[in-house]
Chains A and B, each alone.
Chain A
Amino acid sequence: MLIAILAGLLVAFAAPQLYRLLGKMIMVPMVLLPLALFVYFCTFLAPVLNGQTVVQEFRWISSLGVNLLFQLDGLSLFFSLLITSFGTLIMAYAASYLKGDALLGRFYLYLTLFMTAMLGVVLSANILCLLVFWEVTSISSYLLISYKHKYEVARASALQALLITNGGGLCLMAGLILLGTAGDTYSIVELQQMHSVLADHHLYVPIVLLVMLGAFTKSAQFPFHVWLPNAMAAPTPVSAYLHSATMVKAGVYLLARFTPMLGGSDLWNYTIMAVGAVTAVVGAFLALQQLDLKAILAYTTISALGSLITLIGIGSPFALQAMLVFLLAHALYKGALFMIAGTVDHATGTRDTTKLHLLGRRMPMLSAAAVLSALSMAGILPFFGFIGKELLYEGTYEAPAYAIPLTICIVFSGVAFVAVAIRLGFGIFFRKSGEPTTIAHQPETALWLPPLLLSLIGLLFGLLPGTSVTPLLNAAAAALIGAQQAGLDLALWHGFNTILMLTLLTIALGIAAYTFTNVFTTWPVHLERLYKIGPGQLYYGLKKAASVGAVALIRNVQNGSLRSYVAIIILTFVVFVVAAIWQEALFSVVSSQTWLTAFGDIELNEYLLILLMLPATIFVSTTRSRLIAITTMSLVGYAIALAYIFFGAPDLAATQFLIETLTAVLFVLVLHKLPKLSPMVKSPKINLKYISLSVLFGATMSYVMVMVRQFPLDSELKAYYGAASWLEAKGRNIVNVILVDFRAFDTLGEITVLAVAVIGIFSLLQLYPEKGDQL
């Protein structure tokens, strides 16, 4: 499974180059990747359906319990297949949708990166790995939403999505770390067996709340739902993939995955249930008011996510099974509808439902797809959406608590779904409401085939639920419930019962809602005042407050005086060191006798070094020429390098020599650009302040140095590295062996920092767009 992730990363980062090489044929490798992954995951079907769990572990940082642990049980497999199959269709669709776009390579980079991260989320069985992939999905979706970065709306929406989902991501991080502490492991496999330990743990409440925040922000639950409709600024393939089928489902996945370890308590059930139900109603209500195709779909997605979350909150085995079925049904029709909306937009240049009329005859294949998926969305027999909706109603109707209010909420969202489905499947395609909209060009095959395929799959699954998807859903549900077999049995016909009555009621009310669409769409004028205090405004208010606060803080703290920064740093350091010495009562360790012995065993060559450095330091503080200051400072540096040689550290000495030389050269390069050196000391008052600070710092450091010498240095490290570096790392130079072998992870981190620093320096000094510079 690591191979799948790495292949995804590799292809993702190769995409821009591939685009340069292949031109529009880039579609071929980009479609083949998810297809290959889909086939790869299909090979796991047999063992997983037999109830096995495939686990792969790669050691990463074993000592901290952070390993690349991948697990493929029913739930992971279900999501993996969903991600890769949708990925295949979307990749093909995107190539036509963004045909000829100069940045298509970059688009594929982001999209493939996203897909890989999403796979990582569902495959990870180590919660820290899961978190990493989780964050990558946030970042890549940020890049995707801001794909049309020339438009301010796209940038603002992307930032909003990033801030909200990443804010949740931070909460999730805290929650997962607490979870790891509470369970004493980061492995999901082990945590799942510790349900009772975790439930009684004193950290249970914060863990649950933090994890929920992460999931709710990602899955756009009220009041964090505001980012999702705005995210529609992204190109439609992104909306279809991220905002209907995958990313927003990550929150649902997370809650589902954590149900066996954290679920079951009142806190868990009622919070999730309440948030989900409110989201379902709010999303449905807002969806009815929209005129823009994508906005309508976005709000119904929010509503559907709310329903899914509600089912997780109910938490009964049946509700969890229903959740999976409804999730699949929703992904199928919503992905198709998003792509249809994109194609309509592509062909006509508008997404406004009031301007779209009678498209059906002109685009027969597309309208067929629209009708099929709209029927599925409305929950009509014999589509898979019907089964999903039946189970959804049944799950809420048979909830152990608050069944009636929950069912009312869900039925309300169902009514909105029916109304919206009629609008999308009938209203813009067949309803004789005005002059037929002119079509600029006929959509290409790749623009109508993927949605048609999805809607046909929806029909197929509906007609043959038993043979097509039930085994997989069963395995997924089994993983959720923790049983060997879930006993899920899908069928189209359940007989005349209350649920069927509810469905019929929904359809009737939905048709009524569709006929009175005008009422809903003209309402917002009266509701303006309400929206002014809504979560969207809250977000903008908070953002503004944050930037105002940041400006105020910077003005007071980051005042631009390098000297005061250094003073603050030194003072903080000294305070901590002195406090530590005070606390450990180390003041008596160094007596006057030890001071004498400390100075006693200094050899002649070491005195020479002091003779070299002391005048240089005094001189540097009095000179006004930058050149002299730099050369004298280099003198100090070289003296230190000499000291390294005296004490037998040739590696350090060489590095110090080289760095000292290079710094001097670099300084000389920029020297003539800098203003004249101002005198170090302006007034006697400041003089006294800085002198006393320097003396304090010097005294503290000297004291620490002498004190350290009082403790015998019988560390085992020296012996260990001395022996191990030859035996285990096959090198004689201990310093280098430590750098590249024993502590290679640190070195890797350091060189990464170095690379980031250069990019920072480069962008600070080089990027002046107003000069017309090219990057």
Chain B
Amino acid sequence: MKTIILAAALRLFFPLFIFFSFYILIRGHNHPGGGFIGGLILAIPFIFHVLIHGAAETQDTLFVKRVYSLKRKERESSLSYYTRNIGYRLRGLLPWYSREDKDKVLVRQFVIEPLNVIPVGLALSLISGLIPLFLGEAFLTGVWAKAQLPLIGKVGTTLLFDIGVYLLVSAVVLKITLVMSKE
């Protein structure tokens, strides 16, 4: 299902979806929303990406972060090599800059696996329940910070709990999608 229009639209909407999902997560305490819905929304752009590009490509482009370095020239001094590299990295931050350098080498590769995000989400929710335990309250009692954060408002363990749900739900949906589309 490789349609150019959908692919182009998705590129535009991708950050929007992610931002919106986070917005939904944060507003959940006072208005309709919350971790569960936010997590579902977070998964949607990824699912569309899978629909358009296929599971293998989605995993390759969205879940793998590759860090490149320039190849070291012969008899190049360390100073010049590192400055060249830093310049290369900085240029990489510019969205219009093409990274098709021929003499780059892969130095690091970070892979995010949804199956590993699930326990992280679960752990966050569990930790939010353990925090009050150390303050002498019952498990999962909401504990609230005195100070307020800009934009988010009051911060408490319930937010942490919700973030755990948010991560877990999106990872669950994503994992199911990836597995299903591969089979």
Which residues of A are interface residues toward B (Cβ below 8 A)?
Answer: 2, 6, 58-62, 68, 650-651, 654-655, 658-659, 661-662, 665-666, 668-670, 673, 728-733, 735-737, 739-741, 744-745, 747-748, 751-752, 754-755, 757-759, 761-762, 765-766
Closest to B50 in A: A669
CB of B70 closer than 8 Å to a CB of A: no
21 A–B contacts from the bound complex (CB under 8 Å):
A654-B37, A655-B37, A661-B44, A665-B51, A666-B177, A730-B156, A731-B29, A732-B31, A733-B32, A735-B32, A739-B34, A741-B158, A745-B139, A748-B126, A748-B140, A748-B161, A751-B168, A754-B169, A755-B122, A762-B115, A765-B183
Question: With A662-B40, A745-B139 known to touch, is A761 a contact of B34 (CB < 8 Å)?
Answer: no
Question: With A651-B37, A758-B172 known to touch, is A731 a contact of B158 (CB < 8 Å)?
Answer: yes
Closest to B173 in A: A662
Question: With A669-B181, A762-B115 known to touch, is A748 a contact of B129 (CB < 8 Å)?
Answer: yes
Question: With A732-B29, A732-B30, A755-B118 known to touch, is A669 a contact of B158 (CB < 8 Å)?
Answer: no
Question: Would A761 and B33 count as touching, CB distance under 8 A?
Answer: no
Question: Would B165 and A747 count as touching, CB distance under 8 A?
Answer: yes
Q: What's the minimum C-beta distance from A646 to chain B, rounded to whole angstroms? A: 15
Closest to B159 in A: A740
Q: Contact check: which of B29, B142, B172, B179 meets A766 at CB < 8 Å?
A: B179
The 3 closest A-B pairs by CB, nearest first: A59-B138, A731-B29, A650-B32
In the bound complex, how far is the Cα of B130 from the Cα of A748, in angstroms?
A: 12
In the bound complex, how far is the Cα of B44 from the Cα of A754, in angstroms?
A: 18
CB-defined contacts of A759 to chain B, threshold 8 Å? 115
CB of B125 closer than 8 Å to a CB of A: yes
Question: Would B133 and A58 count as touching, CB distance under 8 A?
Answer: yes
Question: Would A733 and B34 count as touching, CB distance under 8 A?
Answer: yes
CB-defined contacts of A758 to chain B, threshold 8 Å? 115, 118, 171-172, 175-176
Question: With A59-B137, A751-B125, A758-B118 known to touch, is A733 a contact of B40 (CB < 8 Å)?
Answer: no
Q: B114-153 toward A: CB 8 Å interface, digit per residue (1/0)?
A: 0100110110011001100100011110101000000000
In the bound complex, how far is the Cα of B162 from the Cα of A230, in angstroms?
A: 47
In the bound complex, how far is the Cα of B79 from the Cα of A758, in angstroms?
A: 50
CB-defined contacts of B137 to chain A, threshold 8 Å? 59
CB-defined contacts of A62 to chain B, threshold 8 Å? 138
Question: Would B118 and A744 count as touching, CB distance under 8 A?
Answer: no
Question: With A748-B126, A751-B165 known to touch, is A761 a contact of B179 (CB < 8 Å)?
Answer: yes
Q: What's the minimum C-beta distance from A394 to chain B, rounded to whole angstroms? A: 47
CB-defined contacts of A655 to chain B, threshold 8 Å? 36-37, 40
In the bound complex, how far is the Cα of B93 from the Cα of A126, in angstroms?
A: 57
In the bound complex, how far is the Cα of B115 from the Cα of A759, in angstroms?
A: 8
Question: Would B122 and A751 count as touching, CB distance under 8 A?
Answer: yes
In the bound complex, how far is the Cα of B158 from the Cα of A737, in angstroms?
A: 8
Q: Which residues of B (1-58) have their CB < 8 Å from a CB of A?
A: 28-37, 40-41, 43-44, 47, 50-51
The secondary structure that dominates the B interface is helix
Question: Would B158 and A755 count as touching, CB distance under 8 A?
Answer: no
CB of B90 closer than 8 Å to a CB of A: no
Question: Would A730 and B115 count as touching, CB distance under 8 A?
Answer: no
Q: What's the minimum C-beta distance from B112 to chain A, rounded to whole angstroms? A: 16
In the bound complex, how far is the Cα of B30 from the Cα of A731, in angstroms?
A: 5
Counting residue pairs across A and B whose Cβ atoms lie within 8 Å, the total is: 148
Closest to B28 in A: A736
CB-defined contacts of B164 to chain A, threshold 8 Å? 751
Q: A736-B33, A740-B34, A758-B118 are in contact. List 14 more A-B contacts (CB 8 A).
A: A651-B37, A658-B44, A669-B50, A728-B142, A729-B158, A730-B144, A733-B30, A733-B31, A745-B139, A747-B125, A748-B126, A755-B121, A758-B172, A765-B183
CB-defined contacts of A58 to chain B, threshold 8 Å? 133, 139
In the bound complex, how far is the Cα of B115 from the Cα of A751, in angstroms?
A: 14
Closest to A655 in B: B37
CB-defined contacts of A752 to chain B, threshold 8 Å? 122
CB-defined contacts of B183 to chain A, threshold 8 Å? 670, 673, 765-766
In the bound complex, how far is the Cα of B42 from the Cα of A445, in angstroms?
A: 55
CB of B94 closer than 8 Å to a CB of A: no
CB of B106 closer than 8 Å to a CB of A: no
Q: What's the minimum C-beta distance from A682 to chain B, rounded to whole angstroms? A: 28
Q: Contact check: which of A729, A744, A755 meets B172 at CB < 8 Å?
A: A755
Q: Contact check: which of B41, B144, B176 meets A761 at CB < 8 Å?
A: B176
CB-defined contacts of A741 to chain B, threshold 8 Å? 142, 158
Q: What's the minimum C-beta distance from A661 to chain B, rounded to whole angstroms? A: 8
Question: Would B37 and A754 count as touching, CB distance under 8 A?
Answer: no
Closest to A653 in B: B32
Q: What's the minimum C-beta distance from A338 to chain B, rounded to whole angstroms? A: 35
Q: What's the minimum C-beta distance from A445 to chain B, rounded to whole angstroms? A: 38
Question: Would A730 and B33 count as touching, CB distance under 8 A?
Answer: no
Question: Would B180 and A765 count as touching, CB distance under 8 A?
Answer: yes
Q: What's the minimum C-beta distance from A289 to chain B, rounded to whole angstroms? A: 48
Closest to A659 in B: B40
CB of B99 closer than 8 Å to a CB of A: no
Question: Would A765 and B154 count as touching, CB distance under 8 A?
Answer: no
In the bound complex, how far is the Cα of B152 from the Cα of A684, in angstroms?
A: 62
In the bound complex, how far is the Cα of B107 from the Cα of A30, in angstroms?
A: 32
In the bound complex, how far is the Cα of B181 from the Cα of A658, in angstroms?
A: 19
Q: Contact check: which of B35, B139, B175 meets A762 at CB < 8 Å?
A: B175
Closest to B179 in A: A765
In the bound complex, how far is the Cα of B114 from the Cα of A759, in angstroms?
A: 11
